[in-house]
Amino acid sequence: MASPPDTSKTAKLERCNNYLRRVNSAKIISASSRLLFRASILATVALILLFTLHYPPLLLLSHYSAAAAARSSHRSLLSSDLTYGGAAWEREVRSSATPRRPSGLTVLVTGAAGFVGTHCSLALKKRGDGVVGLDNFNSYYDPSLKRARQSLLSRHGVLVVDGDINDTPLLIKLLDVVPFSHVLHLAAQAGVRYAMRNPQSYVTSNVAGLVSLLEVAAKHADPQPAIVWASSSSVYGLNTATPFSELHRTDRPASLYAATKKAGEAIAHTYNHIYGLSITGLRFFTVYGPWGRPDMAYFSFTNYILWGKPITLFRMQDGTAVRRDFTYIDDVVKGCLGALDTAERSTGSGGKKRGPAQLRVYNLGNTSPVPVAKMVGILEELLGKKAKKHVVTLPQNGDVPYTHANVSMAERDLGYRATTDLATGLKKFVRWYVGYYDRKSKKEAEGVASA
């Protein structure tokens, strides 16, 4: 009879084998873990190196993309890529600049397709002066309105060159082709509230653009022209003394727009002092009338009332009404022409001052502040329709509670006098507004029908 198997030896052997398998498995797992860890470290290092190598180009790409977008936006707002020059172009410029009356002025009007620029150009041409306009037709408001003004000027023999005041070669070319006796500088980025959305456009146009113009006039023009330019009543800012006088402080602007106009007055002083440029600044007070700016309250209110949209009226913290010294466009034009007619010659040549030169600043206002609500009431009567009013407290957006002009200096020196009351001026504006947009609607309808 066979003896039974030695189970104790078998069990020991099995335990030994199991132990060896566990040991080997642990070694394999440990080795695998070490290998995986090392692979992870290497991968991480590789990724860090890759990121380090490629991050700067990516950053630069992002920077350049943002810069390109900014340039594109700036270009659409403030510049023109159109070419200029050539014999035909020069003949056209000279023809437009030739006065038709003895001793007539030869005036370069910047911002000629703008509201005030159009009216001043027409008035100058009508009395026999030579006029050449310059405008970049930016998209701050509907460019089609500016093109319509350009067409109006063209019908009266005024050429408006499509170009920007920051285009120094263009300015040099214009002042080389025509020895302008005067420059009426009205080109600017307008509007108080828009500065909160696009501040750079104000610096580019109102500061850099003014410097560009004065540089060319001082150093390249022969003879140097006399400069009349548009400042603004906004420079009075937080001034509380009324009516606003040219002798009042203007060092507390309430908006970036106002600050750029105040900077412009300081810049004008510098170029007058160093280069002998004759410079006159005009502080406009809420100009309104036909062919006006759509961003102005009277213009947008007219549109909203006709379309039945609500309008926003501001009041002060204490409940008092916001008031404006509304000044009709024809009165402002008289002031601009008066400034041109009384401007003395510049005293510099080739960038060198030969003697003291004239430096002036004047208010051009109506001297009769009117509550904005009263202006709305006049529009309601003229349009035969009630406005849907939304009254709110004036926010901190750069608007000031009131404007009121003291024009005694302009009366004395320029023969300036405002003669148009608000009701009369708004009646003329509404008549133009209805006629212009009725014609525009008919043309658009005809265009759709023929398409």
What distance in Å separates the CA atoms of residue 218 and residue 220, rounded to the nearest whole number? Answer: 6
Kindly report, residue by residue over 352-377, the tens digit of the pLDDT.
999 999 999 999 999 999 999 999 99
Give every CB contact of residue 439 below 8 A, 6+ residues apart in sequence: none
Please say if the pLDDT value at position 404 is more than 80: yes
Mean pLDDT of 13-33: 48
What distance in Å separates the CA atoms of residue 17 and residue 19, rounded to the nearest whole number? Answer: 5
User: What's the pLDDT score for residue 315?
Assistant: 84
Question: Hey, which residues are catalytic here?
Answer: 257
For helices 256-275 and 209-219, angle between their N-to-C axes, nearest 10 degrees: 10
Mean pLDDT of 380-393: 93
**Beta-sheet strand order (sheet of 130-135):** 159-162, 130-135, 106-110, 182-185, 226-230, 279-284, 359-364
Please say if the pLDDT value at position 73 is more than 50: no
User: What's the pLDDT score for residue 329?
Assistant: 98
Nearest to 183 by CA among 118, 146, 128, 134: 134
What distance in Å separates the CA atoms of residue 424 and residue 304, rounded to the nearest whole number? Answer: 21
User: What's the pLDDT score for residue 21?
Assistant: 53
Between strands 348-349 and 352-353, the pairing is antiparallel
Nearest to 398 by CA among 212, 209, 236, 203: 236
Token readout for 127 is: 């009395």
Banded model confidence at residue 59, pLDDT cuts 50, 70, 90: very low
Best-predicted range by mean pLDDT among 41-55, 251-265, 315-329?
A: 251-265
First to last CA, the chain: 117
What distance in Å separates the CA atoms of residue 138 and residue 124, rounded to the nearest whole number? Answer: 24
- The chain-wide mean pLDDT, for the chain, equals 85
What distance in Å separates the CA atoms of residue 170 and residue 209, rounded to the nearest whole number? Answer: 13
User: What's the pLDDT score for residue 193?
Assistant: 86
Q: How does DSSP assign 89-102, residue by residue?
A: HHHHHHHHH--SST
**What single-letter amino acid sits at 262?**
K
CATH number of 188-287+327-365+403-421: 3.40.50.720
Length of the chain in residues, anyone?
A: 451
The dihedral of CA 339, 343, 349, 355: what is its sign?
Answer: negative
Please say if the pLDDT value at position 444 is more than 50: yes
Mean pLDDT of 381-398: 86
Kindly report, residue by residue over 331-341, the tens digit of the pLDDT.
999 999 999 99
Nearest to 364 by CA among 417, 400, 413, 320: 417
Mean pLDDT of 114-125: 98
User: What's the pLDDT score for residue 248?
Assistant: 95
pTM for the model: 0.81
Banded model confidence at residue 3, pLDDT cuts 50, 70, 90: very low
What distance in Å separates the CA atoms of residue 152 and residue 177, rounded to the nearest whole number? Answer: 24
Please say if the pLDDT value at position 287 is more than 70: yes
Token readout for 212 is: 């560009």
3-class SS of residue 178 = coil
Please say if the pLDDT value at position 291 is more than 70: yes
More confident residue, 372 or 445: 372
User: What's the pLDDT score for residue 80?
Assistant: 39
Token readout for 164 is: 């920007």
Best-predicted range by mean pLDDT among 357-366, 401-410, 435-444?
A: 357-366
Q: So where are the chain's domains?
A: 188-287+327-365+403-421
